Amino acid sequence: MDRSVYSSPPLSRVVVSGGTHGNELAGVCLVREWLRGDSAPCLERSSFTAQPLLSNPRATEQSVRYVSADLNRCFKTHTLSAPPSPSDPYELVRARELDSLLGPKGSEGAVDFICDLHNTTANMGACLILYSLSDYFCLHILHYLQTRMQSAPVYCVVFDEPPSEAYSLDTIGKRGMALEVGPLPHSLVRADILSQMSEGVKLILDFIDLFNRGTVFPPCEVEVYRKLEGLDFPRDPQSGELSGTVHPERQDRDFRGLTTVLGPWGPLTSS
């Protein structure tokens, strides 16, 4: 266990982005509210003011995940640095634009922190998505949220990838995370999920402000989830169409262990 003190300069350039997937509406609604100025004070802290950003305006306008390519898969280093071509999809062009605004990825000029807002139809509660098991700054944020969040349970998924291979928007800042809140149907907004996302953002910005002002966060432990394997749905061999669903006893039980079922056994007799 690494118990060395982790220290870094204060964070001043903080971005909260939404609409990276245009049909995940809680983030879109919050960012639009902030951009209109209605609730901009939500982003102000004594040591910094976070900047709201609508990441994929065209997909947001159409209320679709993306127009031509998944924006949130466009931020690998080699994708960003590939020579531009007139046939590049809209989202790749936008990814390079965001990289020049908020990055460049991996450089000293990059913003200090990006929190990218997502929604999911899965019952994930408020879930932080990180790319490194030794990202102590973000793991402290996780602990801060887990001990304070009132409106939803807080989980964390870590995809352990080198930064150059991490493909999501939040990886072009010096630090970052996705905040994924669900369940929320695509292209729809619910007040309960909006409140959960608002509370998550508030706590993340509160943490950064406390950090900036010299708070020492004591050592702590957190539980995180990692991807071991992906399982596809059963499909019809001819058409490839889904031929099964999540079992009703498993549906909505995200982050819970599988029940072990024993049997059926063969017959038992005293013969």
The site for its own copies (CB under 8 A) is made up of 29, 32-33, 36, 38, 121, 183, 185-192, 194-195, 236, 239, 241-243, 245-248, 251
Nearest approach in angstroms of CB 231 to its own copies is 16
| Residue 268 to residues 6, 150, 186, 260, Cα–Cα distance (Å) | 61, 52, 52, 22
Q: State the minimum distance, in angstroms, from the CB of residue 146 to its own copies.
A: 23
**CB nearer its own copies, residue 84 or residue 240:** 240
Closest contact distance (angstroms) between CB of 194 and its own copies is 6
Interatomic CA distance for residues 179 and 201, integer angstroms: 8
Which 3 state secondary structure label does DSSP give 53?
Answer: strand
Q: Which two tokens stand for residue 127?
A: 């879930």
With H, G, I as helix, E, B as strand and everything else as coil, classify residue 28. helix
Tokens 């010096």 belong to which residue? 174
Nearer to its own copies, 10 or 244 (CB): 244
User: How would you list the strands of the sheet with 14-18, edge to edge?
Assistant: 51-54, 14-18, 113-119, 175-182, 125-130, 154-158, 225-226
Residue 8 or 121 having the CB closest to its own copies? 121
CB of 238 to its own copies, least distance (A): 8
Closer residue to its own copies in complex, CB, 47/195 = 195
